[in-house]
Each structure stands twice: as structure tokens, then as C-alpha cells.
Amino acid sequence: MKKTLIGASLAVVAMTTTAQAQDVLRIATEGAYPPFNNVTSDGELVGFDVDIAKALCVAMDRECEIVAQDWDGIIPGLVNNKYDAIIASMSITEERLEAINFTAPYYSNYLSVLGKEGSDLTREGLGDVAIGAQRSTVGWQWTEDQFGSRADVRLYDTNPAAVSDLEAGRIEAIVMDFLPAAEVLNTTSGLGYIDEKIDINDQIGIGIRKGDDELTNAFNAALETIRADGTYEAISDAYFGTDIY
């Protein structure tokens, strides 16, 4: 994976030189989902989501603070005014729309299934083995829908925790998003695809509190701006070598 264009520490403020006299816009990301959002060993919050968030703040001419929040608490934190938006590769689902609103999608997602390199497992055979997935994700929901009644589905707080158990042989497969799965294979030996790319019509949006239509519209306009001026494509190409929009 290519180096990030823009780094941000957990409490670093992303500012434009002509920022309006408005309240600081606080944006939450998970910080445990490389290459989209991750905390480096020296405490920097980096990744595609982080760089997109910073670019959107520039386009909106807003002073922004990007913070890390664990996945299970990320929607409750938004609802309870801990921050103003979520940019954390969050899928737009009917269940989540009951609690929060979303902007227009900023990329599309697929699923992958990983196992040990050389494994003869197929997607159809996953119902007979221990499968890992991150809790409260579309990967977990797909796994439950496909195999939950007969498979040993084990839930993890983060994808790296599931990868560790796969490497150790405690599970035989992981269901996770396509691009993070590719990053795992780029950085981890001994693993491979069981199923590389599963289309589940998954769209990724920015989470906003219900009723905050002004901020939703501002993010949508900013997304159009960074798409039109090439900023989005440059960030996407730096991480993935292609435009993932």
C-alpha cells in the first residue's frame, strides 16, 4: 500500500487558512481498520478515511478535529453529541438509518473471505468451520445470513484480532471487506483468498445525526467538490492505485 498523503494525530486539528469563525467540526473514525483508518506506533491517526475527512474539511472551509472511537460505540457517540460526523468506512444500512442519517456514498464496498494459503475450503464449505468476522459490520451480517444457523461464527472487536486467530489456527476463515482484505494479504504471509470479491451492493457513507440537514448538505457539496477537482482521485490512487468511488 502506498504511503498516506495526509497524516493526522488523534487530537490534531485540520485547519484551512481562511476557516470561518464556526465551532470546530469533530469527526470520528475507528482507528483500527487499515488502510482506511489506523493508529500508527507513534500515535498518528492515518488512512484513506482520515485523508478524505481532511479534504472535505478544506472544501467546506471548516476547522476540524479527527478523533478515534471504538466501533461498537461509534454510533452512540454521534447520537449523544460526542462528535458531529462519522467517517469510518461505515455501510449505509436500513438498521443504521433508524438511528442516524447518511450522506451520499463516498465509495462502494465488496466482501472477501480469507483462509490459510493453500486451503481447499470454498464459500459453500464455510458452514462447517469456524468463521471470524468483526461484530456490527456487514461482513458479520452476511456471515450470519449465509451460515449462522450451522456455522461456528466468532465475533471480534477488530479485524486485526480476527487475523491473529486465523494465523494461529483458532478459526479457519475470516469474512471482511475487500480492500482491507487485500491489505492483510499484502502484509501477512501464509494467508490467501477463499473467495476474493463478493458483491453485496454495499455503499459507504458519512454518518450524521438525524435532523442535521445543514451538515449533511455541506458534506455532500464538499464531496462533489473533491470529486470534481481531482482531490478524491489523488487520495484514492495513493492508497489503492485506482479510483474506488
**Do 115 and 90 belong to one domain?**
no
Higher-confidence residue of 22 and 12: namely 22
Residue 2 lies in a domain: no
Q: Give 147's pLDDT tier (boundaries 50, 70, 90).
A: confident
pLDDT at 195 over 70: yes
Residue 1 lies in a domain: no
**Do 50 and 114 belong to one domain?**
no
Domain extent, residue 123, equals 109-201
Closest CA to 101 of 217, 182, 18, 196: 217
d(CA 30, CA 34): 10
d(CA 202, CA 198): 10
> Is 91 in contact with 36 (CB distance < 8 Å)?
no
Other beta carbons less than 10 A from residue 228's beta carbon: 10
Residue 3 lies in a domain: no
Residue 145 lies in a domain: yes
For the chain, how many structural domains are there in total? 2
**Do 117 and 163 belong to one domain?**
yes
Residue 63 lies in a domain: yes
Closest CA to 171 of 117, 121, 115: 115
The mean pLDDT of the chain is 91
pLDDT at 18 over 70: no
**Do 136 and 196 belong to one domain?**
yes
How far, rounded to the nearest angstrom, does the alpha carbon of residue 117 sit from its chain's CA centroid? 25
**Do 154 and 195 belong to one domain?**
yes
